[in-house]
Structures are given as structure tokens and as C-alpha cells.
Amino acid sequence: MMDTTFFRKIFLFQDLSEDEIKATLSHAISREFSAGEVIIREGEPGGSMFIMCQGEVEITKALTLVLDEDTPKERVMIRLKAEDGVSFGEMALLENEVRSATVTASSHCRLLELKQEDFLHLIHQDPAMGVKLLLRLAQLLSRHLRKTNQDVVKLTTALAVSLGG
């Protein structure tokens, strides 16, 4: 019998019953990654999301403007720890686009991978649960968009100030 207490921390699962969490996780594949191993690479096709069960990862984005060889080619955006109830790659559940960032294991990691086709099958199979999952997914992506918008305003303001505008 699977204990769903840990998975209740995952934002996507917070409206689900214990049985619904178990049903969702029954479609996930357990994956292990060593420290330094790339889990997701920016620019490559994405087809699944990951739920962290153990370990720590680092998310980086490539910089679009590299001025010289001393300028880093990518920037660490955030570090995530499994105990915080973390998932990543959720956009891949809804669209077949390339990954927007690179995720690298900082320590040994145990993850659950939920593939897009399994997710779509799951929400068609149980539409009531599907609505809960899709609503949470929409809220999560909305939060990401709001934060991105705030970051753009901060960067635009900093650029205007630095250019004397």
C-alpha cells in the first residue's frame, strides 16, 4: 500500500483524494539520476513531467547574449529539493514543445516520470479527476506566467535605469 502523504505536498495533487493520487502515480515510472546527470536539457523535445521523491536538482537557462569567454553561458535559476514537494516539466503534459530549461541532478535523485500520453489517458479515463488535475495545472502555469511578467518588469526597469532612461 502506497503512502500518499508525501505526494500531497505536490501542488498538482493537492485537490486529489488518496485513491486519485494512487491512480495517477500508478502511471508514473520510477527513475534514478546520479549527481551531475542531466534530467532535462533545454531545447530538447519534452514529453513528460517529473515528481521529485529524493534528492536535489538545479535548474539553469542558457543566456542568449554571451559577450566574451568570461561571460557564463548559462545561469542557475533555482535549486529544488524533493522534501519541498517539487515537480517540474509540467508544460510537457499539455504541449509538444522543447524544454524551456535544463534540470541537472545536484545529488543522487529518485524521481517519478509521468509521460504526456499517460496523463492524457488518465484524465480521459476519469474526467472528474482530470478536471481537478487540469485546474491545478492551469493555476501552476498561471503562477509561472505571473512571476515571469514581474521579472520582465524588474529587468526592463533595471535596464532603463542603467541606460539613464
106-115, pLDDT tens digit by residue? 999 999 999 9
Fold exhibited by the domain 6-162: Jelly Rolls (2.60.120)
Report the run of H or E that residue 53 belongs to, with start and end: strand 48-54
CA angle (52, 56, 61) in 5-degree steps: 95
**Predicted local distance difference test score (pLDDT) of residue 45:** 93
Q: State mean pLDDT over 38-49.
A: 95
* Cα–Cα dist 111/32, whole Å: 6
**Predicted local distance difference test score (pLDDT) of residue 68:** 57
Q: Residue 36 gets which letter from DSSP?
A: T
What's the one-letter identity of residue 49? M
* Cα–Cα dist 107/139, whole Å: 29
Q: State mean pLDDT over 114-134.
A: 96
* Cα–Cα dist 77/52, whole Å: 18
Which spans in 12-165 are helix H? 18-25, 116-125, 127-162
**Predicted local distance difference test score (pLDDT) of residue 40:** 96
Q: State mean pLDDT over 10-15.
A: 94
**Predicted local distance difference test score (pLDDT) of residue 2:** 58
Please check whether residue 103 is in contact with residue 58, taking contact to mean a CB–CB distance below 8 angstroms: yes
C-alpha cell at 153: 518588469
Which residue, among 11, 17, 25, has the nearest Cα to 142 in the 3D structure? 11
Percentage of the chain exceeding pLDDT 90: 66
Q: Are strands 109-115 and 48-54 parallel, antiparallel or unpaired?
A: antiparallel
The Cβ-side half-sphere exposure at 126, using a 13 Å CA radius, reads 14
Instruction: Evaluate if residue 1 carries a pLDDT over 80.
Output: no
Q: State mean pLDDT over 73-77.
A: 67
The domain ranges of the chain are 6-162
Instruction: Return mean pLDDT, the chain.
Output: 89
**Predicted local distance difference test score (pLDDT) of residue 135:** 95
Please check whether residue 104 is in contact with residue 37, taking contact to mean a CB–CB distance below 8 angstroms: yes
- Would the CA dihedral through 77, 79, 82, 84 be positive or negative? negative
**Predicted local distance difference test score (pLDDT) of residue 152:** 81
